[in-house]
Amino acid sequence: MKMPKDLEKLMIEQLRNELGSAYIYLGMSSAMESMSFMGISKWMRRQAKEEVEHGMKFYDYLISRGSKVELLPIDQAITDYKSPLNAFEVALHHEKSITGFIHKMYDLAVLLKDYESQHMLNWFIAEQIEEESQAQHFVDRLKFAGDNACAVLRIDKEANKVVS
């Protein structure tokens, strides 16, 4: 069954949002690398890769529903952040907005009785719990570390080991 047009439009926008998220995380990775926070830079880079995978899930799903996929433009990404905390605060805010988009799509899929899309979006609803929780974890720890350089460097070292 072909997807309702309104839902298809939101999914095409979400494909752009996920690839845009990859760009945002890559910008953060670049900023952290330039500040020599190599562990956080790697974490952000892995996250960027994961966002491309998220985008491709939307791409593949749209194709499987017979949609002609339009590729919307992606905004330029910021590559300057004041600190790791600043970057993770922006990441957390961004992930919350992505959760909002996913919920909006799910609400529409329920309204339109598009059961296939509800099933597909369930994966993203679960994924967003993890995405927000990871960013929140770093925000909390970096706030706790404050201006203590040793504590921040320890978090940077640990970020290299966290599998995102």
Binding residues (CB under 6 A) for ligand FEO: these are 18, 21, 51, 54, 95, 98, 131
Residue 134: C-alpha distances to residues 7, 44, 124, 152, 163 (Å): 29, 11, 15, 17, 10
3-state helix, strand, coil in the chain (%, to 5): 75, 0, 25
Cβ distance to ligand FEO smaller for residue 21 or 117: 21
- In the complex with ligand FEO, the residue whose CB is nearer, 49 or 82, is 49
- CB closer to ligand FEO, 79 vs 97: 97
Of the pair 22, 145, the CB lying nearest ligand FEO is at 22
Contacts of 126 (CB under 8 A, 6+ apart): none
Residue nearest to ligand FEO (CB): 54
CB of 131 vs ligand FEO, minimal distance in Å: 4
DSSP secondary structure of 9-31: HHHHHHHHHHHHHHHHHHHHHHH
Query: Contact, 39 vs 159, CB < 8 A?
Result: yes
CB of 74 to ligand FEO, least distance (A): 14
Q: How many CB atoms lie within 10 A of CB 27?
A: 20
Q: How far is the CB of 24 from ligand FEO (least distance, A)?
A: 9
To the nearest whole angstrom, how small is the minimum distance from the Cβ of residue 33 to ligand FEO? Answer: 20
Nearest distance, CB of residue 77 and ligand FEO, angstroms? 14
Nearer to ligand FEO, 44 or 142 (CB): 44
Identify whether the C-beta of residue 155 lies closer than 8 Å to the C-beta of residue 142: yes
